[in-house]
């Protein structure tokens, strides 16, 4: 649905040039929710704005539903843009227009007949759950409600793609959840492909099928949501994951462990499904002269999957410890030794 090839964007300013995008390649399939995560200044907004030509790419190709966006004439571009909705962090509503008028604007621009506009706006407001606010002004709405209006407006022309630029970054956690639920619904029920950019890993975790990590204008890692969470390759990706799966080990316990004169390993386990690790830990305790000691645990929902994290301590004979790790690996639990202590 979206195919970006060798995309570069350079800004020329009085202070010099800024290379905001340096050879971006990515593909978003139809019906997918694709997330791009990165810190402030990484190039996220530049990337998303180069898709609907709000920013003109310096070089490279952007295909949306088979149409090369970079070479369209103004009239063709207007037409192509109708099928690409966009929402923003600060909603960008017309403050002097009602909810109805804000949504209708998009349809008036595409010369939709008046009666049809009325029908359509009502239908859209129903989808976003704002039928009762139809005559309100933006100043009378909460942040979450404003974003719902913006979503209705973005969908007005039966769009195929929805671009979201930090759409939940100005909202509190609870409202963020409800807007993300709405995006999931829209994706599923209307089969709209969604590309969203964010600096928040909890947004990615909840809705995305696939994720790309962008840093300094380049994509440094890209994978399915499950692979990114279970097997991140880059330090930046790990940091984003840590931000929602922080595991503090009980320090008094660790201190005691370090003072003892025995071999031990602290091992972080990552596994899919919340019961995946338990039977094997019991088996280790039964088959080997070791009893795995659970130091911390964490279970999170990643899109439609449950992902577990445990940090365990294995103390004993080195060979037995390694056998235990092997047993875990053999049943598909990912292991990472975070401390190897003793003598």
Ligand X SMILES: Nc1ncnc2c1ncn2[C@@H]1O[C@H](COP(=O)(O)OP(=O)(O)O)[C@@H](O)[C@H]1O
Residue range at the interface with ligand X (CB under 6 A); choices 10-18, 125-133, 225-233, 323-331: 10-18
Q: Which does 46 bind (CB under 5 to 8 A by kind): Mg ion, ligand X, none?
A: ligand X
Partner in contact with 42, chosen from ligand X, Mg ion, none, beta carbon below 5 to 8 Å by kind = ligand X
**Between 24 and 69, whose beta carbon lies closer to ligand X?**
24
Identify which of residues 21 and 267 has a Cβ nearer to ligand X in the complex.
21
Part in contact with ligand X (CB under 6 A); list of ranges 36-44, 57-65, 148-156, 269-277: 36-44
Question: Could you write out the DSSP letters of every residue in 15-27?
Answer: TEEEEEEEEEEEE
Q: Which of 20, 24, 62, 241 binds ligand X (CB under 6 A)?
A: 20
At closest approach, how far in Å is the CB of 47 from ligand X? 7
Specify the residue for token string 């090369």.
68
Phi-psi region of 243 (alpha: psi -120 to 50; beta: other; left: phi over 0): alpha
**Residue 43 or 232 having the CB closest to Mg ion:** 43
- Burial class of 24 by CB neighbour count within 10 A (0 to 12, 13 to 18, 19+): buried
- 3: how many CB neighbours lie within 10 A of its CB? 16
Q: Closest separation between CB of residue 176 and ligand X, Å? A: 18
C-alpha closest to that of 71 among 57, 85, 83:
57
> How far is residue 90's CA from residue 171's CA, in Å, rounded to a whole number?
10
Contacts (CB under 6 A) with ligand X, residues 41-60? 41-46
Nearer of residues 45 and 193 to ligand X, judged by Cβ: 45
Is residue 45 involved in binding Mg ion (CB under 5 A)? yes
At 190, which helix (H) or strand (E)? none
Give the end-to-end CA distance of the chain in Å, rounded to a whole number: 56
The residue ranges that bind ligand X (CB under 6 A) are: 11, 13, 18, 20, 38, 40-46
The residue ranges that bind Mg ion (CB under 5 A) are: 44-45
């Amino acid at each position: 649905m979206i195919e970006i090839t060798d995309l570069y964007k350079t800004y020329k300013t009085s202070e010099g040039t800024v290379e905001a995008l340096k050879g971006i390649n990515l593909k978003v399939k139809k019906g997918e929710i694709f997330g791009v995560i990165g810190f402030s200044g990484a190039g996220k907004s530049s990337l998303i704005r180069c898709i609907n030509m709000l920013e003109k790419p310096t070089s490279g190709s952007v295909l949306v539903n088979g149409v090369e966006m970079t070479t369209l004439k103004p009239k063709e571009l207007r037409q192509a843009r109708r099928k690409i909705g966009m929402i923003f962090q600060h909603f960008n509503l017309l403050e002097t227009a009602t909810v109805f008028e804000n949504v209708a604007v998009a349809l008036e621009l595409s010369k939709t007949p008046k009666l049809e506009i009325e029908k359509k706006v009502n239908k859209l407001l129903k989808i976003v759950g704002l039928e009762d606010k139809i005559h309100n002004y933006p100043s009378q709405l909460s942040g979450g409600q404003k974003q719902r209006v913006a979503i209705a407006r973005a969908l007005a022309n039966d769009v195929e793609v929805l671009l979201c630029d930090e759409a939940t970054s100005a909202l509190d956690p609870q409202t963020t959840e409800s807007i993300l639920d709405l995006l999931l619904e829209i994706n599923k029920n209307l089969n709209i492909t969604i590309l969203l950019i964010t600096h928040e890993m909890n947004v990615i975790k909840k809705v995305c099928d696939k994720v790309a990590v962008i840093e300094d204008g380049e994509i440094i890692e890209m994978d399915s949501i499950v692979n990114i969470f279970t097997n991140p390759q880059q330090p930046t990706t790990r940091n984003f994951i840590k931000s929602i799966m922080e595991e503090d080990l009980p320090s008094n316990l660790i201190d005691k462990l370090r003072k003892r004169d025995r071999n031990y390993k602290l091992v972080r386990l990552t596994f899919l499904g919340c019961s995946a690790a338990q039977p094997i830990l019991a088996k280790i305790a039964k088959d080997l002269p070791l009893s795995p000691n659970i130091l911390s645990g964490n279970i999170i929902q990643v899109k439609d999957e449950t992902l577990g994290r445990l940090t365990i301590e294995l103390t004993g004979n080195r060979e037995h410890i390694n056998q235990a790790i092997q047993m875990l690996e053999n049943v598909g639990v990912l292991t990472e030794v975070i401390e190897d202590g003793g003598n």
